[in-house]
Amino acid sequence: MPAGIYIHTPFCRSRCSYCDFATGMYESDTTARYVGALIREISGWNGVDNPQAVETIYFGGGTPSLLSTNQLERILNAVHAQFSVDDDAEITLEINPGDGGLNRVARLATMHEWRHLGVNRASFGAQTFNDRELKMLGRTHDSADIGQTFELLREAGFTNINFDLIAGLPHQTLTGWKENLSGALQLRPEHLSLYLLDVHEGTPLHDQIKRGMRPQPDEDLAAEMYQAMIEEVCAAGYEHYEISNFCLSGFASRHNTKYWTREAYYGFGNSAHSHDGARRRWANERDAMKYVELIERGGSPILERSELSDEESRSEAIFLGLRLMRGVDLENYRAQFGSDLREQCNGELDRLKQAGLITIDGARLKLTARGALLSNEVFAALG
């Protein structure tokens, strides 16, 4: 299968309270130096055996839209020089709904330039349509920016747009969450990534909760929100194709699907991870400036390498395959690993079926809606 490429941009205008990604504050000089290192890493790529053609490129972060169009063009030129990129490749750019101080004309001109460079999918963190919640999260945009950014993207010719929304925010009610869903569905983007809040240690939000400034997440309320999410989004014509992801027909994220189907993807930039499509995985230095210094000294940014054992490969095939609502193909599993998962995990499968967390539909093992909510318990039982 053709591979995917992930390019990390570790810069933001501000730090969100829930974020634990490898990001820092945007500074033009630091960004220019980082882009130079990133291009050197891509240009120095020597392949993994015979690397496949590339069919997806994903600019993530951070806020990749902070890069100038010239910087984006140079990065894409480096990718095209080193890889065979499909003519119809999915090229995604994560953006911020805020305008960064630009007026409407300037924003629209920039979006047209993105399209000219080949970017054909935009993904942005709306997170919530509630201005109070946006302020609490440390976001730099307001609810009006979401609709305005969406309209500008449409005007610039984007026909594949994703929204991120977060459920279970401190003080958020079920009614408030449904209002967020309604706001997103009225705009009708092609894709929705809908997440339950995950509080990571070391983030400002974790510290606020620990000190009693914010309430602890309510697991029962989160379950209600997840159920409402499935019912309302699917009723609006979206396919629930992955635990947290929904799409209109034909608009599943081609890049992210590679992660769940264990296809090859190659990551560039600090903290970027790669997989050869078989058993080898590797990861870059997490700290952005240490990454830059390694590249500038002519060294490798790769700090971790691993080769999965048979058992690790089996476990990964199960928990990644089950993230997709189509589930795990049991015959493919048998052909790949030489064992029948139904025999291998018979007792656990019976227990999970009785608990209403999984179903076996013909030759496919799938999560139920309840199982998707409690997926970590299923993965632990089968891993």
Which band of pLDDT confidence, cut at 50, 70 and 90, is reported for residue 100? low
User: 213 and 254 in contact (C-beta within 8 Å)?
Assistant: no
Kindly report which listed range (24-28, 254-258, 291-295) carries the lowest average pLDDT score: 24-28
For 29-33, 46-50, 52-56, 271-275, which range has the lowest pLDDT when averaged over its residues?
46-50
Q: Mean pLDDT throughout 86-111?
A: 87
Section 30-43 average pLDDT: 95
Interatomic CA distance for residues 52 and 359, integer angstroms: 35
Half-sphere exposure of 137 (CA within 13 A, CB side): 29
- Residues 117-154: pLDDT tens digits? 999 999 988 888 988 888 777 767 778 889 999 999 99
pLDDT in tens, 342-370: 888 878 999 999 999 999 988 999 999 88
- For residue 325, give both structure tokens: 């609502």
Confidence of residue 24 (pLDDT cuts 50, 70, 90): low
d(CA 141, CA 134): 7
According to DSSP, the β-strands at 3-9 and 11-12 are unpaired
Superfamily of domain 3-260: Aldolase class I (3.20.20.70)
pLDDT of the residue at 97: 85
Is residue 119 within 8 A of residue 161, CB to CB? The reply is no
**3-state secondary structure string across the chain:** CCEEEEEEECEECCCCCCCCCCCEECCHHHHHHHHHHHHHHHHCCCCCCCCCCEEEEEEEECCHHHCCHHHHHHHHHHHHHHCCEEEEEEEEEEECCCCCCCCHHHHHHHHHHHHHHCCCEEEEEEECCCHHHHHHHCCCCCHHHHHHHHHHHHHCCCCCEEEEEEECCCCCCHHHHHHHHHHHHHHCCCEEEEEECCCCCCCHHHHHHHCCCCCCCCHHHHHHHHHHHHHHHHHCCCEEEECCEEECCCCCCHHHHHHHCCCCEEEECCCCEEECCCCEEEEECCCHHHHHHHHHCCCCCEEEEEECCHHHHHHHHHHHHCCECCCEEHHHHHHHHCCCHHHHCHHHHHHHHHCCCEEEECCEEEECHHHHHCHHHHHHHHC
Q: What is the pLDDT of residue 162?
A: 97
pLDDT in tens, 162-206: 999 988 888 889 999 999 999 999 999 999 999 887 655 665 554
In this structure, the dihedral spanned by the alpha carbons of residues 315, 321, 324 and 325, taken in order and rounded to 10 degrees, is -90
Lowest-pLDDT range, 76-90, 136-150, 159-173, 305-319?
A: 136-150
Structure tokens, 189:
């983007």
Q: Which two tokens stand for residue 68?
A: 């100038």
C-beta separation of 174 from 224 below 8 A: yes
pLDDT at 16: 46
Residue 226 CB burial class (10 angstroms; 0-12, 13-18, ≥19)? buried
Bridge pairing between strands 121-127 and 161-167: parallel
The pLDDT-based confidence of 209 (bands split at 50, 70, 90) is low
Whether residue 20 is predicted with pLDDT greater than 70 in this model: the reply is no
Share of the chain above pLDDT 70, in %: 87
- Is residue 37's pLDDT more than 60? yes
pLDDT tens digits, one per residue of 210-250: 666 665 667 788 889 999 999 999 999 999 999 999 999 99
Distance CA 1, CA 331 (A): 20
Smallest CA-to-CA distance from 263 within 315, 209, 321, 309 is with 321
What CA–CA distance (Å, rounded) separates 142 from 147?
Answer: 10
Mean pLDDT of the chain: 88
Question: Within 10 A of 276 (CB to CB), how many other CB atoms are there?
Answer: 18
Band (373; pLDDT cuts 50, 70, 90): confident
Q: Where are the domains of the chain?
A: 3-260, 327-382
**What pLDDT shows up at residue 368?**
93
d(CA 340, CA 299): 45
